[in-house]
Chains A and B, each alone.
Chain A
Amino acid sequence: MTSIPRRGLLTGAGSALLSLTLAGCDQVSRNRGVRATLARAEGLTMAAQRLILSPAALAREFTPADISPDFRANGSLRPAGQAYQDLLANSFADWRLQVEGLVERPLSLSLDDLRSRPARTQITRHDCVEGWSSIGQWTGARLSALLEEAGLKPQARYIVFHCADRLDAFAAGDRGLYYESIDLVDAFHEQTILAYEMNGETLPVKHGAPLRLRVERQLGYKHAKYVMRIEAVESFAHIAGGQGGFWEDRGYEWYAGI
C-alpha cells in the first residue's frame, strides 16, 4: 500500500468520524429530554437575577446625544390584513386598547385617552436577542397606572399583550399571532410603559404603531409591538403554544433578562 491511499483512508475516516460526531450533537440537541434539562437553567437564571435585581432598580438611561440614528426594526415591519390597514389609514382614530381578563373594571382606551394617563419618557438601550443594541427615546403610558385604574383581581399573575401582527404565516389560527407576557414585578416597574412616541415623534409603523410595550430590563422580543389588547391572567398555559409568547413558543426563554 502506498502512503497516498492510506492518507486518503485516514482523512476519509477522520471526516466520517467528525460528521458522525456532529450529527450526534444535532441528534442530542433535538432530544426532548436534553431540551427539558437545558431549559431548567432558565429558572436558575431568573432566580439569580431576581435575587440581585431589586424590583425598583432601573435600566440605565442615556442622553439625547446617545440616541441611535439607525435604530433597527425587527420582526413584523407592517402587519398585514385589512383591519390594521383601516386603522392605519385613519391614523388609529378608531383604534381602542382593550384592558381585560382578571380585572375589576375592563377598559377601552383611545390613543387620546392613553395620552391623558400618567406618562413617562426614557432614553434606553434596546437589546435584541440576536446580539445588537440600539438606543432610543420612548414616551408612553405607565402600565402600572393603567392596571391600577382597571383594578387587578387577586388571582392575576401575568399580563398578556395581544398584537395585531401575524409573524408566522404558516402556523394555524392564534399560533401565528404575536403575543407576549410579563409578570407583575415587571408590569409594575417604573420603566414599563406602553409607548406611543419614539424619539419625540409618533411611533412609526415599523416600530409598532400605534402602541408598543417597553420592558427595559429584558431583551427586545419581550417588547411587543402593535399591541391591541391587554389581558390579566392567572396562567398563560392556554394561550397559543402555552409558553407565554410567540418566540417562547419557538424555544426562546420566557425570562429574557439574559
Chain B
Amino acid sequence: MDETQNNDAKAPAPRHRLPVRLTHWINVLALLVLLGSGLQIFNAHPALYWGHASTFAEPWVAMTAEPKGPGLAGFTQVGALKVETTGVLGLSNGERRGFPAWTTLPGYRSLAEGRRWHFFFAWLFVTNGLAYLAWGLASGHFSRNLFPQSAELTPRSLWDEIKDHARLRFHHGRYNALQKLTYLAVVFGLLPLMVLSGLGMSPGVNAAWPWTFELFGGRQSARTIHFLSALALTAFVLVHIAMVLASGPIGQLRAMITGGAAPPRPPGTPS
C-alpha cells in the first residue's frame, strides 16, 4: 500500500506540500550563495579566535601560506595541530587564500562583493525561514510531521531505525524518527544559531542588543560559532543529499518539485 494515500481516497495528500517545497528550494539557493560568499568573507582574514577581541599571535584556527623549499606551501592550523594543505587551504593556484577559488563567491578575491551577496541572501534566507516557521506552526506541519510520536522514541524503535538506515532501507511517504529529530535540530537549532551568530558580529546590532554578542562570549566567539555552524550545516546537507541518492533520487526530487507523485519503490524494498 502507498502510505501517502488518504483514508478518504479522494485525492492523495501530496508528500510535500507547496509551502514546504517552495521554502525548500529558496533555501537551497540562499544557503548555496551564503556559503560561497561566507567563505569569500572568511578569506579576508582566514583565522578564528575566541572571546571579544582577536589574539593575533594565537588564533585557534588559521590558514596560512609559508615558505617551504624554493616556494610557498599552504598550512592549516587547528589548535595545536598544523597540517600542510597546499592546493586547497592556505595556498591554491599559487595564490595565498584561505579557501580556494572554486568554493567562493565570487571566485576572484573581493570582500566587498562577497559581503553584498551575503547580506542580500541573508535577508532572503531570514524572510524565507520566518515564512516557513509561521506556516509550519499555523498549518500544524511541525506537530504533525516533525515532532516524533512518543512511540517512535522508544529505544527499540530508534534502534530499528538505525538498523534500517545502515541497510539503506527507507520507508517512503513519512519521515522516520531519526529524520524528524535531525530536521528539528536543524530548523530550531542550527539555522537560528546561524542567524544569531551572524547578528553577533554586527556592530550596529551589538549596540542595539548587546546580548547578541554576550550570548557567545564576544564578537570573535560569535564569528567562530558562525563558521562552525556553517560547517555543521554543510555536513547536514551532504548527508541529506547522500540519503536522497540512496533512497531513489528521481522519485525524491520529483516529490520535492511536484509534491504529488508517489516515488517508484526501489527494488528490494519490502512493501
The judgment on whether A and B are partners is yes
List residues of A whose CB falls within 8 A of some B CB. 18, 22-23, 25-26, 29-30, 35, 37-42, 44-45, 49, 52-54, 57-60, 62, 66, 68, 70, 72, 125, 127-135, 216-219, 247, 250-253, 256-258
The answer for the CA separation of A35 and B116 in the assembled complex, in Å, is 8
Interchain nearest-CB distance for B225 vs A (Å): 13
Docked-complex contact A218 and B203, CB < 8 angstroms: yes
Other-chain contact of A52, B102, B110, B209, B210 (Cβ < 8 Å): B209
Using Cβ atoms and an 8 Å threshold, which residues of chain B touch A57? 207-208
20 contacts between A and B (CB under 8 A): A23-B107, A26-B107, A26-B108, A29-B113, A40-B120, A42-B119, A44-B123, A52-B209, A59-B206, A60-B210, A62-B52, A70-B57, A125-B53, A125-B219, A127-B201, A131-B42, A133-B52, A217-B203, A251-B112, A257-B203
Using Cβ atoms and an 8 Å threshold, which residues of chain A touch B57? 70
Using Cβ atoms and an 8 Å threshold, which residues of chain B touch A35? 113, 116
Other-chain contact of A41, B52, B101, B107, B120 (Cβ < 8 Å): B120
Interchain nearest-CB distance for B154 vs A (Å): 45
Closest chain B residue, CB of each to CB of A46: B204
Docked-complex contact A39 and B116, CB < 8 angstroms: yes
Docked-complex contact B44 and A130, CB < 8 angstroms: yes
Interchain nearest-CB distance for A52 vs B (Å): 4
> Could you tell me how many residues of chain B have their Cβ less than 8 Å away from some Cβ of chain A?
44
Using Cβ atoms and an 8 Å threshold, which residues of chain A touch B119? 41-42, 45, 253, 258
The answer for the CA separation of A44 and B220 in the assembled complex, in Å, is 25
Docked-complex contact B203 and A68, CB < 8 angstroms: no
Other-chain contact of B52, A49, A52, A72, A125 (Cβ < 8 Å): A125
Using Cβ atoms and an 8 Å threshold, which residues of chain B touch A127? 201, 203, 219
Closest chain B residue, CB of each to CB of A135: B53
Interchain nearest-CB distance for B58 vs A (Å): 10
Docked-complex contact A133 and B120, CB < 8 angstroms: no
Docked-complex contact B45 and A22, CB < 8 angstroms: no
Q: B182 an interface residue at 8 Å Cβ cutoff?
A: no
Using Cβ atoms and an 8 Å threshold, which residues of chain A touch B115? 129, 252-253
Other-chain contact of A29, B44, B47, B49, B117 (Cβ < 8 Å): B117
**Top 10 closest A-B pairs, CB basis?**
A257-B204, A251-B112, A29-B106, A41-B120, A53-B208, A132-B54, A130-B44, A131-B45, A130-B45, A38-B116
The answer for the CA separation of A41 and B33 in the assembled complex, in Å, is 15
A72-B205 contact in complex given A37-B120, A131-B45, C-beta closer than 8 Å = no
The answer for the CA separation of A10 and B55 in the assembled complex, in Å, is 46
Other-chain contact of A252, B42, B54, B112 (Cβ < 8 Å): B112
Docked-complex contact A251 and B116, CB < 8 angstroms: yes
Docked-complex contact B56 and A132, CB < 8 angstroms: yes
Other-chain contact of A49, B41, B54, B204 (Cβ < 8 Å): B204
